[in-house]
A = this chain, B = another copy of it.
């Protein structure tokens, strides 16, 4: 029940459960057994039951799991039942792309500001989001005036390190880090850091290529 003891592997699988349950839901089904799910997702049914067991039971013996119920409970565990405000720091290609990415909002992640230190980008419109790029100088004020949970870091390494103090001071709750640094080693552990290292992902793929 307490999220602090949940193994990392379990957390990793939760969004995938959520995705499959969403698909089952829109296919109109009502219930699913751990055995059904296990065949669909190529996991063992033991693992599925064990994973859910960490959060208490959501099923019913002899019946299985009610899809809507399990879907919404996993949503709650992932805090998708709340709205989260985000700022994007770095208005290069990647920052702009993520700001435009409509899927996030659908899960309650609302990007409400995008910042860069390049004056040439100042005031530029981002797609049809209605947002305009602001200068990094304005970030502290913006953080004071808005309730921001997550900062999305899409600036180069050096810039990322420089910005950390501001984020820590303003008690941001999480950092979604696309910069090639391990921020987790430089941030108090009250702040959650999730790294997306694209180059490293590509290297892992490269490793597995047959010759």
Chain A residues engaging chain B, CB cutoff 8 angstroms: 3, 11-12, 14-16, 18-19, 41-42, 77-80, 84, 93-94, 96-98, 100-101, 103-104, 107, 109, 127, 149-150, 173-174, 176, 180, 182, 185, 190, 192-194, 196-210
Contacts and interface: CB of A to CB of B under 8 A. Distances in A.
A206 B84 contact: yes
Nearest to A191: B210
A15 to B, nearest CB: 4
Given A185-B42, A196-B196, A150 B207 contact: no
Given A104-B199, A173-B209, A192-B208, 5 more contacts: A15-B199, A16-B182, A78-B206, A96-B97, A192-B210
Contacts of A96: 93, 97
Ordered nearest first, which 8 A-B pairs have the shortest CB separation? Answer: A15-B200, A194-B205, A192-B208, A15-B203, A93-B97, A97-B97, A173-B209, A78-B203
How many copies of this chain? 2
B209 A79 contact: yes
A79 B199 contact: no
Contacts of A80: 203, 206
A103 B190 CA distance: 31
A135 to B, nearest CB: 22
A203 B93 contact: no
A149 B205 CA distance: 11
14 contacts: A3-B208, A11-B204, A11-B207, A16-B182, A18-B203, A78-B206, A79-B207, A80-B203, A93-B127, A103-B180, A104-B198, A150-B206, A194-B202, A196-B201
